[in-house]
């Protein structure tokens, strides 16, 4: 539970790779997420190539964290794995997988950042091009991973006014 509150968006990383074992564990956490009809409509593309990251930073105005991130994982939905075709549950499946990855990273002492891709058309197009995605693979989020250059405080955003009993 602590990892949920410790997780913060990290936008500056140390020049130090994420160990393979930790990467596997973070991916395992992603794949442990709940999914509609247990369809597990996700795919994960690992990117360590700084040239690709530079291209992404050119077109994504909020991706400067990639300047220092040693690793980014593109989380994609695979429409061919849908059990309810055309209903696009992959969006929610990928969101659950992304969040699981961030929390697992925090638990391992690894910093992370969720970079939004879906539903911004320009970003989707660029990801398709850079990572050579076929039609049925939908880029959803890019997760930057690495060791934080500076720790951030855990956060509690509990807002009692946003909780409603029985009706709004
Ligand atoms: C769907 C989504 C898209 C996001 N996209 C970006 C992004 O493109 N660039 C970025 O720096 N942060 C991005 N963030 C991170 C948010 O800015 C961050 O979660 C928020 O400011 C709260 O801070 P915290 O994560 O440290 O608690 C995104 C978060 C979500 C959930």
Question: How many whole angstroms separate alpha carbon 111 and alpha carbon 8?
Answer: 8
CA-angle at 146, arms to 89 and 74, nearest 5° = 30
pLDDT value at 73 more than 80: yes
For 92-105, the pLDDT digits (tens) are 999 999 999 999 99
- What is the whole-number distance in angstroms between the Cα of residue 166 and the centre of ligand 1? 31
Domain architecture of the chain: domains with CATH: 2-162 (3.40.109.10)
**12 within ligand 1 shell (Cβ under 6 A):** no
Condensed to tens digits (0 to 9), the pLDDT of residues 13-53 reads 999 999 999 999 999 999 999 999 999 999 999 999 999 99
pTM for the complete prediction? 0.98
Structure tokens at 32: 């442990």
Percent of the chain with pLDDT over 90: 97
Ligand 1 centroid to Cα of residue 47, in Å, is 19
Q: What's the mean pLDDT when you consider all of the chain?
A: 97
pLDDT at res. 1: 62
Tell me how far apart the 2 most distant CA atoms of the chain are, in Å. 52
Euclidean distance between CA atoms 5 and 155, whole angstroms: 6
Cα(105)–Cα(27) distance, rounded to whole angstroms? 10
């Amino acid at each position: 539970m602590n990892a949920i509150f410790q997780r913060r968006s990290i936008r500056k990383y140390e020049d130090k790779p994420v160990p393979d074992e930790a990467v596997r564990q973070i991916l395992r956490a992603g794949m442990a997420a709940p999914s509609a009809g247990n369809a597990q409509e996700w795919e994960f593309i690992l990117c360590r190539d700084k040239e690709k990251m530079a291209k992404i930073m050119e077109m994504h105005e909020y991706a400067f964290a990639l300047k220092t991130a040693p690793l980014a994982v593109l989380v994609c939905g695979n429409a061919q794995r849908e059990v309810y075709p055309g209903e696009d549950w992959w969006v929610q499946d990928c969101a659950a997988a992304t969040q699981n990855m961030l929390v697992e990273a925090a638990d391992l002492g690894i910093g992370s950042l969720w970079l939004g891709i879906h539903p911004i058309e320009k970003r989707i197009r660029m990801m398709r091009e850079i990572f050579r995605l076929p039609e049925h693979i939908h880029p959803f989020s890019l997760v930057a991973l690495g060791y934080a250059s500076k720790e951030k405080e855990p956060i509690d955003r509990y807002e009692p006014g946003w909780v409603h009993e029985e009706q709004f």
